[in-house]
Amino acid sequence: MEQNTNPYKLKYKYAADYGLILGAYIAIFYCLQVFFNANVVVNLLNTAGMIGTPFLCYYLTKKYRDSACGGYIRYSQAWSFGVWLFLFAGLIMSVIYFVHMQWIEPNFIADTFNQSLLMLEQMNYDQKALDAIASNPMPTPIQVVTAYLFFYIIGGGILFLIISAFIVRKNPDDPFGTGPADTTYKPYQDKNDTPDSNA
């Protein structure tokens, strides 16, 4: 039975499995944006996909609670699972981002950088600051992908501060979340030790 498995290993297993689902979900909308950038329908689908992400995260975490945790979960457990969920989804997306920036659209970073400079210039941003930004070396695909991965982890942590509150379900047999009484720390004892041997 899954409840007898190490709870940490079980959490990582479910986070990896469900992270694959979340990563595939995000990847679909990202690929649509890459290949059909100027399409109004795709832009609407991307907006709908972004709105649907928290609901998918709620559904996946609820499945984890019911399948792996016996139907009960603490706030910290749900939040931790959410961070791991986004870590695995971010790893999947990192591969897609790298392939896109390295081979599909090698000028993506430079074009995005130049568009950002033009936007700042149109907003009458300080010219000296613009020159300083323009003089910085262009980030590599690996650097951009790493930044995206951190964004996924931090964004997932923030999102799950809210989602976790809706997932929590206390175990009536353990209302304070302390676990079974026999899980408290016990010092090591040799087989030959007896209650009187340390006297």
Dist CA 134 CA 154 (whole Å): 28
For the chain (199 residues), the mean pLDDT of every run of 10, in chain order, is 71 96 97 88 93 98 95 96 98 97 95 91 88 90 97 98 96 66 44 51
This prediction has a pTM of 0.84
Residue with tokens 């809706």: 166
Specify the 3-state DSSP secondary structure of 111. Answer: helix
**What's residue 141's pLDDT?**
96
Cα 76 → chain centroid:
15
> Rounded to an integer, what distance in angstroms lies between the CA atom of residue 76 and that of residue 177?
10
What is residue 129's predicted lDDT score, i.e. its pLDDT? 87
